[in-house]
Amino acid sequence: MMLHIPQVLSPDQVAELRALIDSAEWVDGNATSGRQSALAKRNLQLAEGSDAARAAGARVLDALERTPMFVAAALPQTVFPPLFNRYGGGHGFGVHVDNAIRQTRDGRTRIRSDLSATLFLTDPEAYDGGELQVEDTFGVHSVKLPAGDMVLYPASSLHEVTPVTRGERVSSFFWIQSMVRSDERRALLFQMDVAIQQLAARVGAGEPELVSLTGSYHNLLRMWSEV
């Protein structure tokens, strides 16, 4: 399932985050690449583990916890500490698939990457190119979102970032290990959760049929989760 999650960060929060990271140290993006990705990747990355990266990552994690759509869709067990990248001057990232296991450089966090996320920190009018292109069974989807919006997609997907030919594209990116490993099951649970919330708003949460549906949702989550 591929999902656009709007307004994870407000315009003011984006501006504050950019002020924090723009003047910090940026290094070759291949500092966190696997062998295959390094052949296709040309960008800059905020130095992992730096004070700016930790402070900015904490703000992103706080925002995710306050975003119900993210929680419902990802069912997160562990979120990898957010990283930050910068594309400009012809930078791009060719077709690749993300590593199945991600580990921080200090070894403190290791996750199975079920989901990938890109949180856009530059408005699309400020740069040309730089589309995130994600391939699934329905074809290739091109994503270029407003600053503060995020896209969530299976980490197993082939994807790329097209070269930036004007301006600069700054984003946060990270991976999630979900409580539910299967993308198909997560999609079903998300659809069910959305329908329950919509029905509750229309008829009231105490209706017996709605209570039964809610129970079924939690029983499925109990059956499929790996907590």
- Let me know whether 214 and 168 are in one domain: no
Range list of H helices, the chain = 11-22, 35-38, 51-65, 68-74, 183-203, 208-224
Q: Are 31 and 85 in contact (CB under 8 A)?
A: no
- Provide the number of structural domains found in the chain: 2
- Let me know whether 118 and 10 are in one domain: yes
Which residues, listed in sequence order, are joined to residue 14 by a DSSP beta bridge? Answer: none
What CATH number did the domain enclosing 203 receive?
Answer: 4.10.860
User: Strand, coil or helix: what is 227?
Assistant: coil
What CATH number did the domain enclosing 71 receive?
Answer: 2.60.120.620
- Let me know whether 133 and 202 are in one domain: no
- Let me know whether 93 and 122 are in one domain: yes
pLDDT along the chain (227 residues), means of 10: 97 98 91 61 92 97 98 98 96 95 89 98 98 95 98 97 97 98 97 96 89 97 95
CA–CA separation, 24 and 50 (whole Å): 9
CA–CA separation, 53 and 21 (whole Å): 7
Both tokens of 69, joined, read 């759509």
Domain encompassing residue 112: 3-178
- Let me know whether 155 and 220 are in one domain: no
- Let me know whether 100 and 118 are in one domain: yes
Output the pLDDT for position 31. 66
